[in-house]
Every structure is written in structure tokens, then in C-alpha cells.
Amino acid sequence: MNTLHPAPQEDHSDGILRRREHLRELLDAHVPADEIEATHLRRMRELLENDDDPFSRSHFHPGHFTASAFVLDPEQRRLVFIHHLQLQRWLQPGGHVDPTDQDVLAAARREVKEECGLVDLRLVGEGLLDVDVHRIPARAAGKDRLAEPSHEHFDLRFVFHSRKTRLRPASDAVDARWIPFDEVDRLGAGESLRRAVRKLKERPWRYPHYWRAQFVDGHYPWELGEPSPTLLELAQDHLPHPERGETPARVLVPGCGRGDDALALARLGHRVCALDWSATALRELTARAEEEGLTVEIHEGSAFDLPASFLGAFDAWAEHTFFCAVDPDERARYAVAAARALRPGGLLLGAVFLGENPPQGSSYAANRPPWLTPRGEFEALFARDFEIVALWPSAVAPARRSKVEWGAVLRKKG
């Protein structure tokens, strides 16, 4: 991030191609938090596809890609911020992509090392936390640097967990400090930085990086290690029976995770499409399907942002531990998403967690997933687009869920 770097004479075009392919994958998997971030994402895709070398720091019109990092301390209660020499502001560590960087992720790691001295870093999740496009002021020529016009940084933001806390500011950082989440606003942070911090601090389960990190870390206690008995019973009672010559249903399994339910439905002969945010989970599902010789259509993405080809394309929406993980403020989006995916008359099959109060000693809470939903609220949520076919306490639920798990069958109106 400090001095000009000579471009390597060999394999320069290969390096650009490699970075471009890696970044395309990251951008395709990223889910923006709001319309502002969605605009940034769209502009990044345009820059990536339409410019010869958008990673070069001398590419000023409109600008170039940069990489930055939000680094969590060992207790995950603080973030590293540096005081930037040129901009005279407190920012997350980050900077330009050097010609020697394999990709933007490597650039983010290098910047943390150069500016903070931290090297023992673990990537949290599988991809980006946030994307942002912001303007950088012009600067005059100086020792070891050329003049630069005003331009934009197309910043790609990652999250790392550091096992060390000793900071050694250098390069563009005149100071580096661990800042508690609650004190970030005191730094005079702009809205784009606050947006990224909110994803880490305030209800992180609303964002892909939270769930991706669970699978990367091997921490997914909501998974049973087998198909949901409740969901399997619903499928057998309410979907066609291909083994009897009946037409298989096309079934969407949102939040499929490692795929126990998707694989079970495929074994019954249905045409299954499995959807999840986590590439790690989907890779395991792909391997398991190949091992069994099963056909499962797999998509990485959000059930709340379905591709056009999914709209009205499914006979059934089959879910287990997805609705209970949706933030209560976003439950209406769930109902809309299910209605958009299903054809008229299509079925929503769910093993859902209903109740007024969490059972004593259970893992259900008011401020984090999994959430219970009062039955009346559940019925009202789907009343516009669905009619209830069946809703009853499951008799086959696992013991730890026996007091809260219900079988739900809803039919889309129309």
C-alpha cells in the first residue's frame, strides 16, 4: 500500500485472469445487506468485466479494486483499526492489490500483516463480509510516488479471526488499536464502515458470513446427522410416490446445509433442488450425492433472492430448521419467498418450531436462533398466500425437540 510496485514481466495476463476468476466467484456468492450495497455490488461486476486490469492501482477511471479486513480478537469482542497516514482517519486495515498477490484474499492478508503485524489469521466464513465503493481524494506527487487523481476504491471486505493481539503498526498505519464494538462509532466512522460492523455485531445471523462460518468451523448443532423424521413423514404422506409410477415432484430444499433432507427426498425419487449460503456444506452434499449415485440440483445463494428460473417452478418447498433460523423481523420475507417459488397448488412442507415460551433448559431464546413462533403468528404470516392443510405437534420429532416441533403442510392458493 505504500510504494509503487514494478509490474512482473512474466505471466502478467495469467495473474489478472486468475484474480478475475476468483473475484467473480466471490461477487456471485455475495448477498448485499441493502440497496446501497447492492449498487456497489453491481458496479463491481461491471468494473470486473469491462476493464483490462481493474486490480492495478494506476487504473483511475473510475478506479480499482482494493482489499480490506475486519480482524476480530481472540474473544471476538474487538476489531483492529488503524489510523491512516494519508486519509487521517481510523479505518480497517487494507489497501491495493499488488501484482504479486495471488488474489484479493491474499491482498487482504498481506495488508493486515504490513499495517498491523498480525499474521496468524483465520478467515471467518468462505467469502466476503461486505463490499463498498468510495471516493479517494487526489494527492500530489511525493518521494517514491506519482501524483494520483481523485478516483474510487472498489473495496472487498473480509473477516478474519486473530489468535494474537500484539499490534505493530507500520506502512500506512501511524497507529493501530483494538477497538470494542461499542466504541466504533466514536472513531467517526462513516456509514459504509458502520454497515460492515453491524453485520458482525448486531444480529449477525441475518447475513451469510455467520452461517458460512458455522460450517467452516464444523459447528452445526441444528443438523441431526440424518433426515428429519417429521419432514420425511410429511413427504411420504403428501407428495407423489414415484416408486408407484407417479410423477416425481420438483422440490426446493432451502437452507439445505449438508443435505440430509435433500438426499432423503432424492432417494424417494423426487427432483430435488438444494439451496444454501454455504459452499462448504454444498461441497459435502455434492460428494454425498455422487457417492450414492443420486441427482441433486445444487445452488449456492439466498432463498430470499431466488433466480428468475425458480419462480413458480416447484411443486414443493421442504424445510427443516430454516424458518426457525430466520430473524423474526424477516419472517414475512420467508412467506413471500416460499410463495414465489411454488406453483399454484404447490405445497410448503415444514418441520417448524412453534410455541409461546421456550421449554425450561432448552436452547431456544428470545434474542438468537433458533426461535419459536406462536402458532397464531405462524398461521397469520402465511394467510395471504397459503391455506393450511395440516398443522400438528410431531409424534416423530427427536427427543430434544419433542415439545416444540410441529409438522406443517400449507398449500399455495391459486
Half-sphere CA count of 118, side-chain side, radius 13 A:
30
Q: What pLDDT was estimated at residue 85?
A: 82
- Enumerate the H helices of 142-278 as residue ranges: 191-201, 208-216, 229-238, 260-267
- Reported as type and span, the H/E element at residue 107 is helix 104-116
Answer yes or no: are the C-beta atoms of 133 and 43 closer than 8 Å: yes
From the list 280, 241, 298, 288, the residue with the least C-alpha distance to 260 is 288
The DSSP string of 2-13 is -S--PPPSSSHH
For the stretch 155-189, pLDDT in tens is 999 999 998 999 999 888 899 999 999 899 888 88
Q: What pLDDT was estimated at residue 384?
A: 96
Dihedral-angle region of residue 120 (phi above 0 means left; psi in -120 to 50 means alpha; beta otherwise): beta
Q: What pLDDT was estimated at residue 330?
A: 87
Q: Domains of the chain: which residue ranges?
A: 12-202, 229-412
Q: What pLDDT was estimated at residue 207?
A: 85
Give the SS3 label for residue 312. coil
Q: What are the angstrom distances between the C-alpha of 177 and each of 93, 142, 184, 185?
A: 11, 28, 11, 14
Give the SS3 label for residue 414. coil
The DSSP string of 253-296 is EET-TT-HHHHHHHHTT-EEEEEES-HHHHHHHHHHHHHHT--E
Q: What pLDDT was estimated at residue 76?
A: 84
* 347-360 per-residue burial string, b: 16 or more CB within 10 A, e: under 16: bbbbbbbbbeebee
CATH number listed for the domain at residues 12-202: 3.90.79.10
For the stretch 1-16, pLDDT in tens is 443 344 444 456 777 8
Residues of the chain with pLDDT under 70: 1-12, 357-366
Q: Which fold has domain 229-412?
A: Rossmann fold (3.40.50)
